[in-house]
Amino acid sequence: MKVIWNSKLVEREDVKIDMEDRGYQFADGLYEVIRVYNGILFTATQHVERLFTGAKKIELILPFTKEELIQLLKELIQENQIETGNIYLQVTRGVSSPRNHAYPEAEFTTPIFTATTTIVPRNLKMMKNGIKVITLPDMRWLHCDIKSISLLGNIMAKHEAHKKGKDEAILYRGNDVTECSASNISIIKNNILYTHPDGNLILPGITKAVILETARKTGMIVKEETFSLKELKEADEVFASSTTMEAMPVVEIDNELVGDGKRGPVVQLLQELYVAQIESECGLIH
């Protein structure tokens, strides 16, 4: 499989990245994960927009236009013949030597861009049976809206979940549930969908945005409001959402069942609506 290295498609072994790259030294960079269905990028524009928004927030001047980036990603998918899979892309501020915390002047550094693809089928079994999670205090920084490659806070939380044999960690600050280690979280109570509002405490998930829009179109009441740990645990249904998981039922939290421990009807409906959205962009997926 080829990868992208800056503006070229190359063999992975041919990629050379300097040990003084600021991504390696400071995690000074951004990333995105985009899903591919039927060889077509899903919600590519939204992901690229978020990358450009993040870049602006950290004063990183990206070495391509949005159109050039999408074109390059399409070439990679075609080259690697990806039908259903993920494209992972990462951009760092580039090399600054000698090591210096301060951002170098933009004219003296060239951002480094890489992208890889993986073939990943939709996990229909998991989407039906749901996932088990733990809750943990949200120990991350206060710029969670930036999709930074600095993910220690997130991976430490995911690792805690895995050590307990669970799939995800739902995070909370004070009493408020924020998001998960690698996904957003929403609850359903009395047919109303609640999810943490966008802002600096969560990543503005693209999957969440698609789900909220389709839910609103069906007349469902959607409230982008914080909810507490207690409300999480007393919810009728709970689901996590991300590019790779889509709408994923959460059936157990801290060893206690959510409802009857099975995927509920509202989450199932949201999954169907999400599939309809995928199919409207990428064609039939089953």
Residues catalogued as catalytic: 31, 147, 179, 203
Q: How far apart are CA 58 and CA 29, in angstroms?
A: 9
89 binds ligand PDD (CB under 6 A): no
Which stretch, 75-83, 128-136, 179-187, 249-257, contacts ligand PDD (CB under 6 A)?
179-187
Q: Which residues in 44-63 contact ligand PDD (CB under 6 A)?
A: none
Q: How many positions of this chain bind ligand PDD (CB under 6 A)?
A: 15
DSSP secondary structure code for residue 21 in this structure: B
Tokens representing 223 are: 């409230």
Q: How far is the CB of 186 from ligand PDD (least distance, A)?
A: 11
DSSP conformational letter for 106: G
Residue 112 vs 247, nearer CB to ligand PDD? 247
| Chosen residue from 214, 242, 271, 277 binding ligand PDD by CB under 6 A | 242
Q: Which of 244, 254, 259, 269 binds ligand PDD (CB under 6 A)?
A: 244
Find the shortest distance in angstroms from Cβ 246 to ligand PDD: 9
> Does residue 207 touch ligand PDD according to CB under 6 A?
yes
Whole-number Cα distances in Å, 235 to 49, 129, 222, 239, 255: 33, 18, 14, 10, 15
- Cβ 87 to ligand PDD, closest distance in Å? 11
Amino acid (1-letter code) at residue 205: G
Pairwise CA distance, residues 131 & 212, whole Å = 21
Q: Is position 182 an interface residue for ligand PDD (rule: CB under 6 A)?
A: yes
- Footprint of ligand PDD on residues 148-177 (CB under 6 A)? 154
Task: Indicate whether 203 belongs to the interface with ligand PDD (CB under 6 A).
Answer: yes
**By CB under 6 A, is residue 183 in contact with ligand PDD?**
yes
Residue pair 217/95 in contact (Cβ under 8 Å)? The answer is no
Using omega within 30 degrees of 0 as the cis cutoff, is the peptide bond preceding 197 cis? no
75 sits in which H/E element = helix 66-80
Q: Are strands 168-173 and 131-137 parallel, antiparallel or unpaired?
A: parallel
Binding-site ranges for ligand PDD (CB under 6 A): 33, 154, 179, 182-184, 203, 205-208, 241-244
